[in-house]
Amino acid sequence: MPTPPTRVLVIVPAWNEEANVGATVAEIRDSAPSFDVVVVDDGSTDATARIAGDAGATVISLPFNMGVGGAMRTGFVYAQREGYDAAIQVDADGQHDPKDISRVLDGLALADISIGARFAEVGSYEVRGPRRWAMRFLASVLSRVSKTRLTDVTSGFRAANARAIAQYVHYYPAEYLGDTIDSLVAAVHAGLTVTQVPVAMRPRQQGVPSQNPLGATIYLGRSMFALGLALVRGAMMSRRSAH
Amino acid sequence: MVFFAFALAIVLLAIVITLLLRRQLSEKYATLWLIISVLVLILAIFPGLLDGLTAVLGVQVPSNLLFSLAIVLLLGVGLHLSWELSRAEDELRRVAEEAAIARSRIDRLEDRLRRLDGPTDSADAEPGPDADHD
C-alpha cells in the first residue's frame, strides 16, 4: 500500500537577510527538492523579499517587523490554509544546515514537535557564561514539563505536524522568546508531545550574534520571566479545562 | 485653589466633549474622562464634600486624600490603556498576517494570469522601449 505523499512546508523567517537568504533558499531546494519553501519577509528594508523570490521561494511580506514569533505564526497560518501535513522552521542566516531537514522531520514519527538540538552529541556549537546557564536551566525545566529529555529548547530549528500547526495557529506568541519557550510550553500543555533530534549547528554566515556579558544577563532574566509566565499560564489553563 | 479646580474641570469637560463631537475619542475612553471631570467639578463646587470625606475616612489632611485618589485613578487609567493597547497590537498583528498572506496569493495569481495571457499576444504586450512613440 503506497503511503500518501507528505506535503512539507519549509518556513524561513527572514529580517534584513539579503546577504544570506538567497543561498539558504537555494540550499534548501537542493537538499529537499520535494518541499515547498516559504520565506516570511519580516518587514525587511533591504532586498530580502526579491532575492528570496528569485531563489524560488514563495514570499510572504509582512507590512512591518513583527519579530520571529510573528513571522512564524504567519508561516503556520499559511501552512494550515494550504493544507500542509508538516512544517519546519529553518533560519535564513544559514545556521541551520538544510541537510538536517529530513532528520528533524523524522522526529515527527515519534512526536508532534521535533526540535533540532545543537548540544546533543553532534557539532561544536558552544556558548558560555550566563547564557549557557540560562539555556541549561530552561532545558531542565522544559524537560520536566514535556516529560522528555530536551537539551536545547531555544533552538529555532524545529518541525511541527498538522496537530502542532493547528495549536500554533491557535496560540503562538510574538513576545521575546515566545517563539521558542512559550510556544513549546503552550503546546505541551495542550497535550502535544515533543522530541529532539541532534543536529550540527553552523556558524552565522554574515553578521554577529549577541554574546556580550550584559546581553547574556538580560537574556537570562528575560528567559526566566518568559518561562515563569508560560508555566503559570499553563497551570491556569489546565485547571480551567478540568472544570 | 477652588477656582483652579473649577476651571480645570470645565476645561477638561470642554476638551472631552469637543473630541467626542469631532469623533476623535471613542466613547469607551470618553466615559471615564467625563466621569472624572464631573467628579472634579462637583468637588470644586462643594469643597465641603472633600473635608467631610476626609473626616469619614480618617485621613489627616484633605489634600492627601485628593492626591491619593488622583494617583489611584491615574494608575487605573494607565493600566486600562496598556490593556487596550495590547489587545490592539494583537489585532494589528493578525491583520498584518492576513494582509501579507493575501498579498502573497494575489502575487501568485497575477503571475499565473500573466503567464496565461502571455503567449497569445506577447509581441504587442511587451513593446520595445520606444516602439509606440514617434
DSSP type of residue A204: P
Which pLDDT score, from 0 to 100, does residue B123 have? 47
Which pLDDT score, from 0 to 100, does residue A58 have? 94
Search chain B and give the residue with CA nearest A67. Answer: B93
Can you tell me the mean pLDDT for A139-147?
A: 89
Q: Which domain holds residue B17?
A: 1-22+29-45
In a domain, B126, yes or no: no
- Answer yes or no: are the C-beta atoms of A236 and A136 closer than 8 Å: no
Quick check: A206 pLDDT over 90?
no
A243 has a chain B CB within 8 A of its CB: no
In a domain, B131, yes or no: no
Which pLDDT score, from 0 to 100, does residue A159 have? 95
- Answer yes or no: are the C-beta atoms of A1 and A28 closer than 8 Å: no
Quick check: B50 pLDDT over 50?
yes
What is the reported pTM? 0.79
The correct answer on CATH 3.30.200.20 for the domain covering A8-242 is no
Nearest CA to B68 out of B57, B56, B83 is that of B57
What are the E-state strand segments in B6-47? none
A83 has a chain B CB within 8 A of its CB: no
Share of chain A above pLDDT 70, in %: 86
Search chain A and give the residue with CA nearest B102. Answer: A60
User: Which among A124-128, A164-168, B69-73 has the top mean pLDDT?
Assistant: A164-168
In a domain, B38, yes or no: yes
A70 has a chain B CB within 8 A of its CB: yes
Contacts of A62 in chain B (CB under 8 A): 96-97, 100
In a domain, B56, yes or no: no
Beta bridge mates, A201: A96
In a domain, B51, yes or no: no
B91 vs B85: CA distance, rounded Å: 10
Shared domain for B82 and B40, answered yes or no, is no
Can you tell me the mean pLDDT for A169-195?
A: 86
Search chain B and give the residue with CA nearest A80. Answer: B101
ipTM of model: 0.76
- Answer yes or no: are the C-beta atoms of A79 and A89 closer than 8 Å: no
For chain A, what are the domain ranges?
8-242
Search chain A and give the residue with CA nearest B101. Answer: A60
Dihedral, A149, A151, A156, A161 alpha carbons, nearest 10: -10
Are the Cβ atoms of B103 and A61 closer than 8 angstroms? yes
Of A58, A63, A70, the CB nearest to B99: A63
A169 has a chain B CB within 8 A of its CB: no
Are the Cβ atoms of A73 and B96 closer than 8 angstroms? no
Helix (H) or strand (E) holding A134: helix A129-146
A167 vs A191: CA distance, rounded Å: 10
Are the Cβ atoms of B97 and A77 closer than 8 angstroms? yes
Shared domain for B41 and B68, answered yes or no, is no
List phi, psi (to 5°) of B119: -60, -35
Shared domain for B76 and B109, answered yes or no, is yes
Which pLDDT score, from 0 to 100, does residue B132 have? 46
A79 has a chain B CB within 8 A of its CB: no
Contacts of A58 in chain B (CB under 8 A): 104, 108
In a domain, B127, yes or no: no
How close is the nearest chain B Cα to the Cα of A156, in Å? 20
Shared domain for B5 and B40, answered yes or no, is yes
| Cα distances (Å, whole numbers) of residue A125 to A153, A199, A225, A243 | 14, 10, 25, 45
What's the domain count of chain B? 2
Are the Cβ atoms of A58 and B100 closer than 8 angstroms? no
Judged by average pLDDT, the poorest of A110-114, A121-125, B49-53, B101-105 is A121-125
